[in-house]
Amino acid sequence: MSAYRIEKDSMGELQVPEEAAYGAQTQRAVENFPISGITLPQEFIRALGLVKQACADANCDLGGLDDSRRRAISSVCSEIINGRLMQQFPLDIFQTGSATSTNMNANEVIANLASKVAGEAVHPNDHVNMSQSSNDVIPTTIHVSAAISCHRQLLPAIRHLISAIDDKAESLQHIVKTGRTHLMDAMPVSLGQELSAWSAQLQSALSRIENTLPEIHQLAIGGTAVGTGINADKAFGGLVAEKLSAVTGLPFKTAANRFAALSSQDAAVALSGQLKSLATALMKIANDLRWMNSGPLAGIGEIALPALQPGSSIMPGKVNPVIPEAAAMVCAQVIGNDATITIAGQSGNFQLNVMLPLVAFNLLQSIEILANASRVLADKAIAGFTVNEDIINSALAKNPILVTALNTVIGYELGARIAKTAYAEGRAVIDVAVEMTELSREDLEELLDPKHLIG
């Protein structure tokens, strides 16, 4: 049997596992919310450590906290920031909507361990939570964790994917293929042009995310319980933002209106919307790759993605486009996360939003899986696919839509008859055009040269 110790809070005594650094309030939440087993992401807990550390430093600078306790609190926060105390944060994301349980989880862990470091009592509320409320700490931590994750994970990953696509596009600019609209044959494009559209989509998504981040850099800290800043020095919030900026290198500042920062999650909803836009672009790219790779005999077969693993438990030799499939599932998850965050963002009742843990979890998950999928797509799909030029050239030569290039010379009606004849007889357009027009083969070769048709 596990050993327990007795802890107490304002509601009385209860048993807490002996090895736990947390106290009574955390244990109550463990018992109250056995719902999903899903805990808040490490990025969030690390950011919470950053916020608590900055708050302790600010309180000391303002004369509210003695230096001995500040150093002890900061030392424990460093352990949290470095990921060494994650097992002390067991709470389910489906908990109190303000995430007060998670804030008190941090306060109790820090106070318990800091007391041992300092050799004197460090109180979870009076010292660790000084000048703070869960109602400004948790929205602040959502923004800090999202900003760090975007700047350190997502934005570099998108740039890496853009670079991989641009390099591939440059190498394939000379290959002309059949274009497709409505999944039907259309006028030709180069493979380089086709990939340039992917790059442009991602560059736009990148820019939209970057343009949204200044709102994420605004922090609720200093608003305390309802936005008025009760029990906090007026300089506290700005000083905490400065300290967070110094540590992370990101331009954090206090929110222009702390009442809005506590009661809404509009900035998180906006960022999630941009993540959904990125997911939409990645889904298009992943599906294009799957179609182009389809086959190898009965599909389009224009490219061959790297063969990474057996594709079937029953069909020997089958290989599937596993990386684009994984990326597409990531996109589906992110789109679903955005719907959840949108609903959560609507749950700002009067002075507080009460779905904060849900926003934190889904937003950080979207950022993480989009970053990882972007890198995997770049390195294991884009960079390594090969081109089946024989298949591309054969299909292009028989493409009846090439006759569109003759419209200005022979007219639409005759062009349509040539196209239908070429398709029905499985012949090249140029051979049919020689028979049905007065143009010479030399003129037709010039007019129908695919390389002249791609602009």
Tell me if residue 151 is catalytic. Answer: no
Using CA atoms in the order 301, 303, 304, 306, what is the torsion angle rounded to 10 degrees?
Answer: -150
State both tokens at 209: 């995310």
Q: How many CB atoms lie within 10 A of CB 130?
A: 22
Q: Which among 2, 10, 182, 313 is annotated as catalytic?
A: 182
The total number of residues written for the chain in this structure: 455
- Residue 31 per-residue DSSP state: H
Of residues 140, 38, 86, 46, the one with CA closest to residue 362 = 38
194 to 187, 203, 268, 288, 297: CA distances (angstroms): 12, 15, 33, 10, 23
Provide φ and ψ at 111, rounded to 5°. -65, -45
Is residue 341 within 8 Å of 363, Cβ to Cβ? Answer: yes
Tell me if residue 182 is catalytic. Answer: yes
Is residue 219 within 8 Å of 241, Cβ to Cβ? Answer: yes
How far apart CA 270 and CA 263 sit, in angstroms, is 15
Q: Which among 78, 204, 312, 394 is annotated as catalytic?
A: 312
State both tokens at 348: 């700002």
Using CA atoms in the order 326, 331, 333, 336, what is the torsion angle rounded to 10 degrees?
Answer: -160
Is residue 244 within 8 Å of 54, Cβ to Cβ? Answer: yes
- Residue 41 per-residue DSSP state: P
Catalogue the active-site residues: 182, 312
